[in-house]
Amino acid sequence: MDAVPIVTIDGPSGSGKGTVSREVARLAGWHLLDSGALYRLVALLGARAGLDPQDVDGHAALARSMEVEFGSDASGGERVRVGADDVTRAIRSEEAGQGASRVAAWPAVRDALLERQRAFARPPGLVADGRDMGTVIFPAAALKIYLVATAEERALRRYKQLKQKGSGANLAALSREIAERDQRDSTRAVAPLMPASDARIIDSTGMSAAQVVEAVLSQGRSLGLWS
Ligand code: C5P
């Protein structure tokens, strides 16, 4: 086990990891690592810097050097900044998600982000949200959750999320993009999307976010991670 207790929450796009991880971290009073945001940032900053989309070394250099700051706004919502630039909304676009999935397939980029991710483990504990948190980044985590849901339900959740934020969304296009991203994330050679052998799988289809949060909290409770 790690010196600092770690709970990993992995799973495919739209499985609800983000919402659940944020809430579990908040209720436990632990730190949160949103690893997807780091890959999204590499893609976004690469595009803004005019890098060739296939420039592996250029993106890896960005992954090493970018100065990112995770925080929250007055109402507890996420805030992501790079220097003085607020990129909270920009990294959430479907374009940044697709770009993230592309750069995330490159070992050089993954390596460049490895220690940066491990540095998030600080007392009293860390909830780490991603694709390879339990398999590669924190293989000794105290509790590993792997969240799944049907592709239809995941597309529908993304759709509602985008609508709520006032962004335009098209359900059929979202379904296609999610399927493409799943395919790329689970077939890549390095750190493919898959449950760790010791992960506990939760199928969240038909469950509310609050129910999934409670399921994770109760697993943590039974391990004595929190009361
Ligand atoms: O979770 P999120 O949708 O923000 O992640 C965006 C993309 O980043 C994923 O589709 C995946 O390709 C990549 N990713 C990854 N490993 C992680 C987190 C995200 O490869 N730990």
Q: What DSSP line would sit under 74-129, residue for residue? A: TTS-EEEEETTEE-TTGGGSHHHHHHHHHHTT-HHHHHHHHHHHHTT--TT-EEEE
What CA–CA distance (Å, rounded) separates 113 from 128?
A: 14
Question: What distance in angstroms lies between residue 227's CA and the mean position of ligand 1's atoms?
Answer: 31
Ligand 1 contact, 154 CB (< 6 A): no
Per-residue pLDDT reduced to its tens digit, 110-167: 999 999 999 999 999 999 999 999 999 999 999 999 999 998 899 998 898 888 878 7
Question: What confidence category does residue 216 fall into, taking pLDDT thresholds of 50, 70 and 90?
Answer: very high
Contact 46, 95 (CB under 8 A): no
Whether a cis peptide bond, with omega within 30° of 0, leads into 124 is: yes
Residue 34 has phi, psi (to 5 degrees) of -100, 85
Q: In what order do the strands lie in the sheet with 85-86?
A: 68-72, 78-82, 85-86
For 179, counting Cβ atoms within 10 Å of its Cβ (0-12 exposed, 13-18 middle, 19+ buried), the class is: middle
Residue closest by Cα to atom 5 of ligand 1:
36
Regarding the beta carbon of 117 and ligand 1, being less than 6 Å apart is answered: no
- Our answer on whether the CB atom of 100 is closer than 6 Å to any ligand 1 atom is yes
At 227 the three-state DSSP class reads coil
**Does residue 209 surpass a pLDDT of 80?**
yes
Across 9-28, average pLDDT:
94
- Secondary structure class of 149 (helix, strand, coil): coil
Q: Is the pLDDT of residue 13 over 90?
A: no
Segment 193-200 mean pLDDT? 95
pLDDT at 32: 96
- 128 vs 97, higher pLDDT: 128
Q: Taking the model in full, what pTM does it have?
A: 0.93
Neighbour count for residue 19 (Cβ, 10 Å): 16
Supply the DSSP symbol for 131: S
With contact defined as beta carbons under 8 Å apart, do 143 and 219 qualify?
A: yes
Ligand 1 in contact with 220 (CB < 6 A)? no
- State the pLDDT at residue 161: 83
Predicted local distance difference test score (pLDDT) of residue 40: 97
Expressed in angstroms and rounded, the spacing between residue 115 Cα and the centre of ligand 1 is: 17
Mean pLDDT of all residues belonging to the chain: 94
In the predicted structure, residue 78 carries a pLDDT above the cut 90: no
Residue 3 pLDDT class (50, 70, 90 cuts)? confident
Q: 40 vs 191, which has greater pLDDT?
A: 40
Question: How are strands ordered across the β-sheet holding 126-130?
Answer: 31-34, 126-130, 6-10, 143-148, 200-203
> Cβ(13) to ligand 1 under 6 A?
yes
Q: From the CB of 14, is ligand 1 less than 6 Å away?
A: no
Mutate to test the pocket of ligand 1, among 33, 35, 137 (most ligand atoms within 8 A of CB): 35
pLDDT > 70: percent of the chain: 100
Q: Which stretch of 39-43, 49-53, 156-160 has the lowest confidence by average pLDDT? A: 156-160
For ligand 1, is residue 204 a contact (CB within 6 Å)?
A: no
In order of their start, the domains of the chain are: 6-221 (3.40.50.300)
